[in-house]
Structures are given as C-alpha cells and as structure tokens.
A and B are shown apart, each in its own frame.
Chain A
C-alpha cells in the first residue's frame, strides 16, 4: 500500500520529471554516439570508458582553467582521441572490436584513477568546482509544476535534445548519411563505388567519442561539479541498451533514454521518499532495478530490432 502511495507521490512531483531529463541526458549523448558508430558498422562498447574520460577531463578543465565550459571542450577533444584509438584498431587493423573496446574501458578506469592523486592531490574523488550554470526560465511562476520541472535545467539538456534532431538530419537527409548507412550494411558495395569505407567508419567512431565524452562531462561539470572514481557506474552500457531498444535511430534513442532516465529518477524518488523510509542497507536492491530492466530490454528486443548488417565485422580493403 505504501508503495503505491510512494509511486503516486513520485509521479506527481515535478522533481521526478526534472530528474528524468537529467538522468536521460548523459544516456542520450552516449546512445547517439553509439548509434553513429554502429551505423557505419563498428561496434563501440567503450562508451562507458569514454564517458568516464569525459567526466574526468571536464573537471580537469574546470580546475585548471577555472571554467567548466573549457572543461567541456577539453572533454570533447579527449573523447575524440580515445575513440581514435578504437577506430585505428578496429578499422585499420581489423581488431576484434569488443576486445579493443574492453581495453579502452579498462584504460579509462586506470588512467582516471591513476591521475587523481598527481593532478588533484587526493585519491578517490576531486574537490568540487564550478559547474555549468543552469538555464533559468524566469518567466515561469515560482512554485508551479512547470517551473519545478523545467524552470532550471542545465543547458546541456537542451543541447542533447537538439542533437537528436541534428543526428536524424545527418543520417537520413544528407549525402554523408546515405553513405554512412550504405557502409554499415554492405561496405563492399560502397567500396566498389568509390566511397571511402575507412573514412566513413572513422567518422562514425570519432562522433561516438565526441558524444559519449560530452555525456560523461555532463555528469561531472554539468551536474555535480566534481569527479569520483568510476562515477559512470554502468551508464555507458545502459546507453547501449537504449540504442538497441531504439532500433539504432535517433528518435528511438530519445524514447529509450527517457525510459531509462525515468527508471533512475523513480529509483531516486522512492529512495528518498519519507513514507517508505528505505534504510541504507536496502538501497542496493533498488539500485539494481535499472540493470534488471536493461537486461530484460536487451534480451527481449534482440530480433525485434535490427542492427546494421555489417555491424561488428571488420572490413579489409582488397589488394
């Protein structure tokens, strides 16, 4: 009975919706990034690692240059750099794309953990710095439902939503997008018509690095203002599940990420709900819910959604 009341309280609380948008944003960035990569035929499960690097670099930028915006730009550059490693291994050297990505995730965890002490003087987490200031919609009435929902959001949330439209436009309306889709389905056919398979795949992978890093940076300089070890906490993988659920389209990714974001928001709301009074020892049981949902999604939707045909298969140019 208490649970139903708690659910109702959550859904009628504007904070729930704000949290949903906030939780969906990093997922959306990473998910769009993953989509770009896979649409060209390269599987990139290293999103988790690149997000982590983005989160770290964002704070480094904020600390060293005093501006979270610079941190954001640095994060994008680092993301592209990490993705370049994956691109080189997967595209030019036909490496096993899963293993290469696993290496990058480990590298990200290792490097970010390693650099905490040398750069910030303390292990485990960084001090708190300025985060990106929120966009305040002052024309909304204080205390209203709408104000509670969207009155004060990070600009990155708006950026993410715009990116959905931009991604859709690129993939389905431009010449580049046509080539991306061709390379992902039948790279050999594209090759015989003079389309650069390697070039298109590099583009897809670098985009995934750019986006994933942005998503990670949102977690640090967009929300908290600090970095802590392994703060991405599986979000990179949830983003992959969202990409699958969304059938490798920007629109689908948006809905899937909102769904996962809502799950996380609900989790938070229930945990902080005074009526339920969840003790801290039980909290882990709630925390595992998003992962169970992801598991069900990934298992249940395979076969119902369709990845690009050449996804995951290295392509080798002929002699």
Chain B
C-alpha cells in the first residue's frame, strides 16, 4: 500500500501535519515546500544527508525557528508555534542531538528548569520537584538518580534525562534528533525498547536519523529529504535501505567501500602502556599499547568519551602523557611538542574542525599554510612567501575539489564538507608517513564522505600508516585493516573487520573483552 496523503478533514487523526513549509536562510533554501504527515501514535523517521533540511524542519515544529511560509497543524488544529514555550504547551517535546543540559546542576533541576514548582516568595520547591521526577521516572521505566549532577553522568543516562524533560512537561509528541549518535549498539537497543513502550502508551515519535538500518528496524513510516525537498514518503515495510539511500542522494550509492588487499609494511609507530588524563585530571587512557605499520589503516572503534580523543591528542603532542611511551620510527617522541611531531612527518586530521583544525577568520590559503608557515616554501628568513602560499593552495583546492575554488575567501564561509576537504588537503600536503585521523566524516554529506574515504584508501596505497578514530561503526568496519575497540581508556581487543559481527563489536564497545565475547558465543 503506498503512502496515504490525507485531506484536510482527515487531519484530526494526525498528530502532526506540516504543509508546504518554506524556510530560507541567507545562503540557502533549507526547506522548499516540505510536507510531513505523521499519524497519531506512530513512529515516523525523517532521513536525509547532513544539510538536507531535516533538523531545520523539526526546529520549526519546536518553535526554535519560524517558517517563512506554510502551515503547521497539531492534532488537526492550525497553530503558530513562535517559541519553545508554545510547543511545550501543545505537548511537543524535543530531545536534541547535542544535549541541552546544564552540567553543574542536578538531574532534577535540569528536568524542571523553566517549569519549576514554587513555594511563596518565588522559592524553588526542590522536594516537590524531586518527587515529581521520581514518579515519571518510575512510570516510564527510565531510571535516574534524581540527585546526581549531570556532568558526572554517562551519556546514555544523560539522554534519559533529556527524554524525561519532555515527559515532565506532558509531551505526547516527541522529536528525537539523531538520538543514537552517541550510543553503543546495546544502548541503542535499550533506547528502542523505551521508544516502543512510549508508543504503546499512545505517544507519537518523530525520529531524525541518517542511519538507515535503524529506520528499517523501528519506524512505521519514513519521509526522505534531499536538498530541502521531500523526495519520498513511504511505509517502512515497503522499502529497503538501498532504496532509501537512493532517495537520499539521488543516485546509486556504494554502501560499502571497496578496499584492495594489501600487505602492511614495516612498523612505523608504537605506543607502549600510555596513560593520559582528561580535562578534569581523571585517567582517560589507562595503559594502552598499539603498533602501527606502514600502508595500513588501524581503526579505533568505540563510543565517544572513552579516551579516544585523549589518546590521539597525546600522540600528536597536544596532551601530556602521564606515563608510557610513544615511539616513532624508533625514536622516543613521548610528550614532544605538536611542532616537533609535525616536523617528524606525522599529520593529524582533528576531530573538531571548527575548534582545532582550522582558523575560520583566516583565508583558505592561510589555512593551507598552517603548520608550515615558518619554513620553506611558505616562508623564508621569517618572511611569508605569499606567492608560494597562494600557488600551492590553488593547486590543492583544485585537486581536492573544494568549492568554491577560491583561495582568498575566509575559511569560515565554506560549507562543512568543503572545510573538511580543505583540512584533509592540507594534512596530506605535508607528505606524511603517518596520519592520525579523527572523525573525518562527521557532519558531511555522502559525496564528501565518499571522497574522503577514497582519499584515505589512496594514502594507504601509498604506504602511509593511519590511525582512524571514528564513532561510525560502519566507517571503521569498511576502512580498517585491523580494529581496536576502546572502552573506558582500555583496549577490549583487536579484531579484523571480516572476523567479527556488529553485535560482538557492540559488546566490546560496552565493556566486554574479546575473550569474554568469544567465549559467550562459543559456550
């Protein structure tokens, strides 16, 4: 049965109808006459690449943005949702991709913020708030410690708090923006159980994601968006991942990268029993050891926050190693400065490009020069050689298809994908023998992702040794020659991608060692 587009008198059966929504931003038409029809009590997935306009659409439903044109109907009534308070009043709740939580405050305070129970003189009734939170927590089976401070809690629990926030306000239409981005496969399963329970309770769920396997697993209907338009609306059971990917991108998509067989070369990097602390001086890397060979991609899988960032930062010289050794080509480079590390031939694609990898108010050309701005060919005798800088950056911009192909524009004006291509171009231009690659495709569209994956494989073909850290399990599985799974600062085991299942990976990412996982499946 194809998707049924309701007529106006049928809107009463629909929790949400968004009709002909138009939303413009200075440089882009984010939503181009978008239609969305969500029946009461269904789980509806909204898929699309990064930049397709799905978050923009949901932000208008929650009142964070206002549509330039079009109408929104909630339970059959046409409404103007001007701000989150309006949305909350109508029973709409949102769980954001980046959690909206106040670290130093408690679970209770975070949940009731903005709608706090009070006594006389505006005094905050903490006891009443705690009782109410405890009640909802029990009713919906979402266990939390009402007194804990948010910043002390693990990510999965924080997400539960975010969901409780919406339930506290009586939401029965919940919007979840990329909820599984920060969860292990097991936590994702737990979340899906929660969502199905909520559905049984009569709630309507809208679910933004780019993970097609999740769409197939849990949704009833799916809306596909591409470049601001809706390219598909179908019942989930009548479609496949392949078809959805097609609608998302507009062409056939290689869901898995093709990697040639290759023998790794000699050892190039060795990490021995490394111990590194995080920003709060707590141990983040606890006695890790690894070997990296030329011409191979060593993947490090794991949920964010288990020490991967600190590990890479330590090797790159950006974070102090408390104990242990880093050995490059036989030399001890533990706690060398970032400059020394770069001069040795190790380059680094940082995980947070806005904060770390590029300087937004600098031109593209100046960003290409970053790190080599004091030596030939980009500088001589302390003076910059603008001619060389401009020439080389022009060549790189062309080679890596950075758009627009201008080197004198500010890096901050480029789109995410092009910024990342610029960063990758620069790091490769160092002509490194070893690369540290962190989250190289986060927030990018499929075209850019494919390009970067190809580039990394090319480097592998040129005998560069790479450590790849990524939270996208599929990316790690398809690119790596070997994989280490990291959990709470330690490696749970080393595997080859074709010798392990996703479930087993998930178990390791959640804390079981390889031996434990293997013995379970054997026994």
Contact = CB atoms under 8 A, between A and B. Distances in A.
- Is the A/B pair a real complex? yes
Nearest to A310: B102
Interface stretch (A180-188, A226-234, A265-273): A180-188
Contact of B105 (A175, A181, A193, A318): A181
Interface stretch (B93-101, B385-393, B458-466): B93-101
Contacts of B116: 175, 178
B123 interface: yes
Given A186-B100, A192-B94, A194-B88, A176 B122 contact: yes
A179 B102 contact: no
Q: Which 6 A-B pairs have the closest CB atoms?
A: A193-B114, A194-B85, A189-B100, A174-B122, A186-B102, A175-B116
Residue of B66, B83, B113 most packed against chain A (CB within 10 A): B113
Contact of B101 (A173, A181, A186, A195): A186
B65 A318 contact: yes
Interface in A301-319: 309, 318-319
A88 B16 CA distance: 39
Interface string A174-215: 111111011001101111111100000000000000000000
Nearest to B100: A189
Nearest to B98: A188
B91 interface: no
A319 B59 CA distance: 10
B102 A190 contact: yes
A188 B102 CA distance: 9
B124 A193 contact: no
A245 B84 CA distance: 38
Interface of A: 173-179, 181-182, 185-186, 188-195, 309, 318-319
Given A173-B124, A195-B114, A189 B94 contact: no
A194 B102 contact: no
Residue of B59, B99, B103, B114 most packed against chain A (CB within 10 A): B114
Given A174-B118, A185-B102, 7 more contacts: A175-B118, A177-B124, A179-B113, A179-B114, A182-B109, A189-B100, A192-B64
Nearest to B94: A192
B104 interface: yes
B84 A192 contact: yes
Given A179-B114, A193-B84, A194-B85, A188 B124 contact: no
Interface of B: 25, 59, 62, 64-66, 83-85, 88, 94, 96, 99-105, 109-110, 113-116, 118, 121-124, 165
A193 B121 CA distance: 22
Contact of B165 (A182, A191, A193): A193
Contacts, number: 76
A194 B116 CA distance: 12
A176 B66 CA distance: 28
A178 B102 CA distance: 11
Contacts of A309: 103-104
27 contacts: A174-B118, A175-B116, A175-B122, A175-B124, A176-B122, A178-B113, A178-B116, A178-B124, A179-B113, A179-B114, A181-B104, A182-B109, A185-B104, A186-B101, A188-B100, A189-B99, A189-B113, A190-B114, A192-B84, A192-B96, A193-B84, A193-B114, A193-B165, A194-B114, A318-B65, A319-B65, A319-B66
B100 A192 contact: yes
B178 to A, nearest CB: 16
Contact of A318 (B64, B104, B121): B64
Contact of A195 (B104, B113, B165): B113
A191 B114 CA distance: 9
Nearest to A195: B114
Contact of B103 (A177, A185, A188): A185
B438 to A, nearest CB: 24
Given A192-B64, A195-B114, A173 B123 contact: yes
Q: Majority SS of interface residues in chain A?
A: helix
B124 A185 contact: no
Contacts of A194: 83-85, 88, 114-115
Contacts of A189: 99-102, 110, 113
A182 B121 CA distance: 20
B216 to A, nearest CB: 30
Contacts of A177: 124
Contacts of B102: 181-182, 185-186, 189-190
Contacts of B65: 318-319
Nearest to A193: B114
A215 B473 CA distance: 59
Contacts of B110: 189
B30 to A, nearest CB: 10
A173 B120 CA distance: 11
A174 B84 contact: no
A192 B61 CA distance: 12
Contact of B124 (A174, A195, A318, A319): A174
A192 B102 CA distance: 12
Nearest to B112: A178
Contacts of B115: 193-194
Given A185-B102, A185-B104, A319-B25, A190 B124 contact: no
B97 to A, nearest CB: 12
A194 B103 CA distance: 18
A189 B66 CA distance: 19
Contacts of B64: 192, 318
Contacts of B104: 181, 185, 309
Contacts of B103: 185-186, 309
A193 B95 CA distance: 11
B84 A191 contact: yes
B123 A193 contact: no
A317 to B, nearest CB: 9
A185 B109 CA distance: 13
A193 B122 contact: no
A175 B117 CA distance: 8
A191 B99 CA distance: 13
A307 to B, nearest CB: 12
Contacts of A188: 100
Nearest to B85: A194
B85 to A, nearest CB: 4
A146 to B, nearest CB: 35
A192 B165 CA distance: 11
B281 to A, nearest CB: 11
Contacts of A182: 102, 105, 109, 113
Nearest to B116: A175
A191 B84 CA distance: 8
Contacts of A178: 105, 109, 113, 116, 124
Contacts of A174: 118, 121-124
Contacts of A176: 122
B377 to A, nearest CB: 37
